[in-house]
A and B are shown apart, each in its own frame.
Chain A
Amino acid sequence: MKIGVLVKNVPDTETKIKLTSDGTGIETQGVKFVMNPFDEYAVEAALQFKEKIKDDATVTVVSLGPDRVVETLRTALAMGADDAVHVWDDAFEGGDMLTNARILAKVIEKIGFDLILGGKQGIDYDAMQTCAAVAEHLGIPQVQIVIALELSEDKTALVARRRIEGGDEVVDIKLPAVVTCEKGLNEPRYASLPGIMKAKKKEIKKIGLADLDGLTADDVGSMGSTTKIVGYESLAQRPSCRMLEGEPAQQAADLVRALREESKVI
């Protein structure tokens, strides 16, 4: 069984996002990039399947992005992935999610997988678009926001539990399929020291535009995109907090009055 995992390299959750002085971009200087947290669940899920299936399973991690994504691929290798594929070409610069998905789908088609795992969403642009679009281009089913996943005995199907508003859906999935992972699915392992050493020496395969049949420079990057970010805005500052004074009973009564009479939310 060949399992592919889509991993994205994103700014660390603690990062303070600073806008460039003209407000049209994000300052990337000094920003620490890490594996998208939701993709850690995907890598872990793939490794658990591999351990369960034993010898006839491989886990390949795929990331599209500039050179810094290699570090995220190495992290996944250190966790235990078998192979890594770095997808990049200068022509890919500035592509939106649906455009990147077109590229990733071509890469996946070229390698051939039985199961493709990804994260629920990238915590950079919070798009939740890439995996669904990949599944569409491949013409295979997708199930997103998954918190439990089981492989059938014959390895041709999965049962997933998917988180929706106010409940869970239980879904039967025929492979090949794309599944995206949500917190709660598992506890991602840390890379072991020997794993890290081994990962350093692993060769990472590179794939560029010329390797992908049927795609031209017009289909990818900013040229192929149908959306464009024109600027950023900081969140509006809230007026400073009004602290309620007095004994707890007084505070409670004053708060309720303020919510009713000033902000009129009650």
Chain B
Amino acid sequence: MTNDILVFAEIRDGSFKKINAELISAGLNLAEKSGGAVNVAALGGDIDAAIEDARKYPIQKVYAVKNAVLANYSTQGFADALEAVVKQAEPAIVLFGATAMGKDLSARVAARLGAALLTDCTEVDLEDGSLKVKRPVFSGKVYANVVSTNDGIKMASVRPNIYPASDQGGDPAELVDVACDLSADNIGAMVTAIESTAAGRKDVTEAEIIVAGGRSLKSEENFKILEELADVLGASVGASRAAVDAGYAPHSQQVGQTGKVVNPKLYIACGISGAIQHLVGMRTSKVIVAINKDANAPIFQHADYGIEGDLFDVVPLLTEEFKKIVEG
């Protein structure tokens, strides 16, 4: 085993996702302590552009498995390919994004390799050869400090938007093609289609700004006023469960315990009461703004800025104010 850190790069639609640059910066911190290098694993079908992107970061090597079988994500195909990379690169630590793909793959590969695995971390550190992480547990009600106790390989998935994206720079990283026998016949679960839901907008888990609405929006139609604000800010639109259950917004936008955990730099909660199951999904946002006509709404206890008022008055005014800034 080396002292190196391997970053599993998430590549979707052929492009190198932002989370990968965040993992590289988390990996560079770890590598400084371990005395190793950061390398990237790039797996997929038609991924030349993503590989070229990966090579621009201050890393040593890009280990690539290019194979048509990997054109779409499959746990088994990607697990076999990543296993081949790990066997060749012999990293001490493998980092994944805490995304649908990263969490699915990391658990499968960790079980195969007998690795220690820490999911959904908000801090990753190395101490006396152990991986030491902080991760929210009990749906984000508290943090747990967890360490790896094994001698062998250690893995962690890191939440998006926690580490700053690494800058590019330096000489292009070396490209290492890794051989791996893959056959579609051995894969029992194959993606046959991908249907995009968030037309033109980032998923809430990836968004830097979220404008979220609750039951008080009263209709799907009324969510348009949040979309208008989101458009000005380049934001994504989130929703409470009450709004989703009422059919005003799709479940893919639901924030909270039975929805998504989000971590933007700005979360604007419009007419959301602040139930515990909602709070656990957005509490780690850097700045929280609450707009609610009830001064006693619990959301105000968790917000940085509050406006007591009717969202139907306030939101369009905010849209106008933000427009002034954006248009300079």
Q: Chain A 75-112, CB within 8 Å of chain B: the 1/0 string?
A: 00000000000000000000001100110000000000
Checking A13, A132, A136, A169 against B191 with a beta-carbon cut-off of 8 angstroms, the contacting residue is: A169
Q: Cβ of A226 and Cβ of B75 under 8 Å apart?
A: no
Taking CB as reference atom, which chain B residue is nearest A257?
A: B321
Query: Which of B209, B233, B308, B317 counts the most A-chain CB atoms under 10 A from its CB?
Result: B317
Q: Chain A 205-245, CB within 8 Å of chain B: the 1/0 string?
A: 00000000000000000000111111111110011011110
Question: What is the distance, in angstroms, from A6's C-beta to the closest C-beta of chain B?
Answer: 14
B161 at the interface (CB under 8 A from A): no
- Residues from chain B with a CB closer than 8 A to the CB of A144 are 100, 103-104
Interface size class of B (residues with CB under 8 A): 35 or more
Q: Give the contact stretch, choosing among B20-28, B87-95, B145-153, B212-220.
A: B145-153
Q: Cβ of A171 and Cβ of B190 under 8 Å apart?
A: yes
- Residues from chain B with a CB closer than 8 A to the CB of A140 are 188
Residue count of chain A within 8 Å CB distance of chain B:
82
CA distance A132 to B119 in the complex (A): 13
A252 at the interface (CB under 8 A from B): yes
Q: Cβ of B145 and Cβ of A225 under 8 Å apart?
A: no
Q: Cβ of A243 and Cβ of B306 under 8 Å apart?
A: yes
Question: What is the distance, in angstroms, from A233's C-beta to the closest C-beta of chain B?
Answer: 4
- Residues from chain A with a CB closer than 8 A to the CB of B322 are 256, 266
Known: A227-B149, A248-B314. A265 touches B265 (CB 8 A): yes
- Residues from chain B with a CB closer than 8 A to the CB of A147 are 251
Taking CB as reference atom, which chain B residue is nearest A160?
A: B189
A-B contact pairs, 14 of them (CB 8 A): A37-B257, A126-B139, A126-B140, A135-B108, A169-B195, A170-B191, A226-B115, A227-B146, A231-B145, A239-B304, A242-B306, A244-B306, A251-B317, A265-B265
CA distance A263 to B267 in the complex (A): 13
Given A165-B203, A167-B198, 11 extra CB contacts under 8 A:
A26-B138, A98-B110, A128-B103, A130-B107, A141-B75, A167-B252, A169-B191, A226-B117, A226-B149, A235-B284, A265-B266
- Residues from chain B with a CB closer than 8 A to the CB of A163 are 100, 252
A53 at the interface (CB under 8 A from B): no
Q: Chain B 165-196, CB within 8 Å of chain A: the 1/0 string?
A: 00000000000000000000001111111111
- Residues from chain B with a CB closer than 8 A to the CB of A177 are 188-189
Known: A241-B305, A251-B314. A226 touches B198 (CB 8 A): no
- Residues from chain B with a CB closer than 8 A to the CB of A97 are 107, 117
B116 at the interface (CB under 8 A from A): yes
Q: Cβ of A255 and Cβ of B189 under 8 Å apart?
A: no
B112 at the interface (CB under 8 A from A): yes
Q: Cβ of A174 and Cβ of B188 under 8 Å apart?
A: yes
B15 at the interface (CB under 8 A from A): no
- Residues from chain A with a CB closer than 8 A to the CB of B302 are 238, 241
Q: Give the contact stretch, choosing among B33-41, B46-54, B57-65, B286-294.
A: B286-294
Q: Cβ of B73 and Cβ of A169 under 8 Å apart?
A: yes
B307 at the interface (CB under 8 A from A): yes
Known: A166-B197, A166-B203, A233-B142. A228 touches B149 (CB 8 A): yes
Known: A123-B257, A132-B111, A266-B322. A229 touches B305 (CB 8 A): no
CA distance A66 to B31 in the complex (A): 40
CA distance A259 to B322 in the complex (A): 10
- Residues from chain B with a CB closer than 8 A to the CB of A166 are 196-198, 202-203, 206, 252
A173 at the interface (CB under 8 A from B): yes
Q: Cβ of B144 and Cβ of A232 under 8 Å apart?
A: yes
Question: What is the distance, in angstroms, from B132's C-beta to the closest C-beta of chain A?
Answer: 8
A65 at the interface (CB under 8 A from B): no
- Residues from chain A with a CB closer than 8 A to the CB of B138 are 11, 15, 17, 26, 123-126
Checking B134, B198, B304, B320 against A238 with a beta-carbon cut-off of 8 angstroms, the contacting residue is: B304
Q: Cβ of A170 and Cβ of B193 under 8 Å apart?
A: yes
- Residues from chain B with a CB closer than 8 A to the CB of A167 are 194-198, 252
CA distance A13 to B276 in the complex (A): 8
CA distance A124 to B324 in the complex (A): 45
Question: What is the distance, in angstroms, from A252's C-beta to the closest C-beta of chain B?
Answer: 4
CA distance A130 to B290 in the complex (A): 37
Question: What is the distance, in angstroms, from B232's C-beta to the closest C-beta of chain A?
Answer: 10
Q: Cβ of A241 and Cβ of B303 under 8 Å apart?
A: yes
CA distance A219 to B157 in the complex (A): 24
Checking B120, B187, B206 against A126 with a beta-carbon cut-off of 8 angstroms, the contacting residue is: B120
Q: Cβ of A227 and Cβ of B300 under 8 Å apart?
A: no
CA distance A166 to B200 in the complex (A): 9
